[in-house]
Amino acid sequence: MAEDGRTLLTGDEIETVFERLKKAMPGKTKGAKGPKDQPDPFRSCIACMLSAQSRDTNTAKATAALFRKARTPETMLTLSDDELIEAIKPAGLYNSKARSIRKFCHMLIEECDGVVPNTRAGLMKMPGIGRKCADIVMAFTFEEDAIAVDTHVGRVCTRTGLAQGKSEAKIAESLDERAPDWAKPEGHFWLIQFGKRVCTSRAPKCPECVLNDVCLFPQRL
């Protein structure tokens, strides 16, 4: 909250924030691919599910091991519980993730004719797919304009006043309503890069920040 009690930036201030981030951050790199570098919507969804509370290196090990065994919902369901769990163990929370993967595959086959939904609402109806995962798949796999909110993006949004919410999903809803359309294609990249480089969890670099004069984070002073 700012000194004047505000928790949200004005529309003009939001435009200023994204304009400055566009100039200061590299944005989407030429080689950026789907979530966890997966080539199709099904594997993108599974990789997103496995990435929850998992380091990228561990997620990569789990997805590689799993997709060596199965690459479609039909073949995934032929795996025994032991085979599935053994493959995804590096990603952690393997019991709950295995259950979600099975439910996801069943629903995909029985209710979607094996085709992954290409809308946010459709994706979020699927087992194991929350708002963040849906937005990542929308942005990377279906090339739709969506800003996925992870820990870094959520921190930047609530500190600066771009958006507010008690969860990443609520912050994402707020950000989607408030962010200008022109910023949505690369907004995720600018915000996550800014969160990792400048607006860090500990000891944010407020004195050198390009948003210092518009940010509502009181500690910047």
- The number of residues making up the chain comes to 221
Active site residue 61: no
Q: Which of 37, 89, 150, 184 is catalytic?
A: 150
Q: Which of 61, 97, 132, 135 is catalytic?
A: 132
Contact between 173 and 154 under an 8 Å Cβ cutoff? The reply is: no
Q: Which amino acid, residue 180?
A: P
Active site residue 181: no
Q: Which two tokens stand for residue 168?
A: 């990443």
What single string gives the DSSP state of each residue in 155-202? HHHHHHTS---SSHHHHHHHHHHHS-GGGHHHHHHHHHHHHHHTS-SS
Q: Which two tokens stand for residue 19?
A: 């304009």
Task: Write b or e for each residue in 150-165: b if 16 or more Cβ atoms lie within 10 A of its Cβ, otherwise e.
Answer: bebbbbbbbbbbbbbb
Nearest to 119 by CA among 180, 41, 62: 41
Which residue numbers are catalytic? 132, 150
